Amino acid sequence: MRETAKISYHGLIMARLNEYNRFLSAGYSLPELGMAFFRLKIWSRLTSALKHRFAFRGRGVVIDYTCTVQSCRFISIGDGSWLQRHVWLTVPLIEMSGPPDGPILRIGDRVQIGPRTTLSAVREVLIEDDVLFGMNVYVSDHIHAYRDVTRPVKDQGLAPAGRVFIRKGAWIGANAVIVANDTDVEIGEGAVVAANSVVTRSIPAHAVATGSPARIADRYDPELGSWSHGRPTR
């Protein structure tokens, strides 16, 4: 049986308690502060939680009210994850022959997604536990079709490619792009994708990738128990 969405109000309210205390110290009366805080913060987040009916939604999930979530019934998100301002999650169903059987954009537990990050899935995008995204990251398992020279690119739809797997504990830096072109892309456990990097090939576990296209700049060698600083490892 498919799990239904779980709405957690506790995480939404707790996320703004520090801001509430700052306004109190600024001299606002408690009734004025309470009404303003409820209207501007709590209410917007409660309505955001109600409209996002995920395939699965864990406990303590915080989704900023500015986020955009499309086809959320094909998206799952684990316990304690946090979507910051203007994050965009999308499953473009128009490009599929039929709706998928279950979630194809899956976000694990305690994932932090920075502002203005986009995650888009047509085949499969998997974000495992404890992954950290900087701001303005773009992750996709597809590209725009472009090979028909008689039609504008915007009219050619999407071209599904490989799948994207970001393993647990990885860190994706600001403005990074991860796109599966013609094969699966896997960002290994504990790997780091540096800011402004473009990744179209897999990155091994506990490696640092940087540049466009991204190349390995550093890597941990478990046999030596040290980092290679770009030198080939055995």
CA distance 27 to 201: 54
Burial track 207-232 (b if 16+ CB lie within 10 A, e otherwise): bbbbeeebebbbbbeeeeeeebeeee
Sheet holding 56-57, edge to edge: 56-57, 75-77, 105-107, 125-127, 164-166, 185-187
Q: How far apart are CA 206 and CA 191, in angstroms?
A: 4
> Cα(33)–Cα(166) distance, rounded to whole angstroms?
42
pLDDT tens track of the chain, all 234 residues?
333 333 444 545 555 555 556 555 656 566 665 665 555 555 555 555 555 678 888 998 888 888 889 888 899 999 999 999 999 999 987 655 566 667 889 999 999 999 999 999 998 999 999 999 999 999 999 888 888 899 998 888 888 778 999 999 999 999 999 999 888 999 999 999 999 999 999 999 999 999 999 999 999 888 778 887 655 444
Per-position b or e across 168-206, b if 16+ CB within 10 A of its CB:
bbbbbbbbbbbbbeeeebbbbbbbbbbeebbbbebbbbb
| φ and ψ at residue 22, rounded to 5 degrees | -65, -40
Q: CATH 2.160.10.10 residue ranges in the chain?
A: 54-227
**Predicted local distance difference test score (pLDDT) of residue 228:** 79
CATH superfamily of this structure's domain 54-227: Hexapeptide repeat proteins (2.160.10.10)
Tell me whether strands 215-221 and 226-227 are parallel, antiparallel or unpaired. antiparallel
pTM tops 0.85, yes or no: no
Q: What is the pLDDT of residue 146?
A: 87
Per-residue pLDDT at 31? 67
The pairing of strands 118-120 and 198-199 is unpaired
- Residue 20: its pLDDT value, please? 58
Q: State the burial class of residue 147 (Cβ atoms within 10 Å of its Cβ: 0-12, 13-18, 19+).
A: exposed
Block residue for tokens 């309505």: 47
Q: What is the pLDDT of residue 70?
A: 87
Predicted confidence at residue 8, as pLDDT, reads 45
- CA gap 199, 135 in Å, rounded: 16
